[in-house]
């Protein structure tokens, strides 16, 4: 790989790594609908507040979410909702994989 390209791919990998957890994917989808406070996300995820805060920190450090402090709550929002376009592509890959698996299973039954 050309050294001039390395920073671009490292930056992309950082974002993908930040998304690579089921709880963080759920948070991204929920934040696409509306901003949420930590307590709301904690209830949705079903884990403790410190774990949710760590997940949010990973997302924030990757530049995926932004936060605003209001009174005693911190509200999070998606910085770039277009990230969910990528999720649509992931769903298409899953669908294609399922179709391939289905075809393979049919051929095994013959």
Q: How confident is the model over 20-54, as pLDDT tens digits? A: 999 999 999 999 999 999 999 999 999 999 999 99
Judge if 73 and 28 occupy the same domain.
Answer: yes
Judge if 39 and 22 occupy the same domain.
Answer: yes
CA distance 62 to 46: 23
**Burial (CB count <10 Å: 0-12, 13-18, 19+), residue 52:** buried
Domain that holds residue 90: 81-110
Judge if 75 and 85 occupy the same domain.
Answer: no
- Higher per-residue confidence, 52 vs 99: 52
Token pair of 29, please? 């989808």
Judge if 2 and 48 occupy the same domain.
Answer: yes
Judge if 66 and 85 occupy the same domain.
Answer: no
CB-CB contact of 11 with 56 (8 Å): no
Q: How far from 100 is each of 61, 95, 105, 108, CA to CA, in Å?
A: 37, 9, 9, 12
Global pTM reads 0.84
CATH code of the domain covering residue 41: 1.10.10.10
């Amino acid at each position: 790989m050309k050294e001039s390209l390395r920073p671009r791919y490292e930056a992309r990998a950082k974002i993908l790594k930040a998304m690579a957890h089921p709880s963080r994917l759920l948070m991204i989808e929920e934040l696409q609908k509306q901003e949420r406070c930590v307590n709301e996300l904690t209830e949705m995820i079903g884990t403790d507040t410190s774990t949710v805060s760590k997940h949010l920190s990973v997302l924030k450090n990757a530049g995926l979410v932004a936060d605003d402090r209001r009174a005693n709550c911190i509200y999070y929002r998606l910085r770039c909702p277009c990230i969910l376009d990528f999720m649509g592509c992931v769903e298409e890959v899953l669908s294609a994989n399922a179709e391939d698996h289905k075809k393979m299973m049919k051929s095994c039954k013959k």
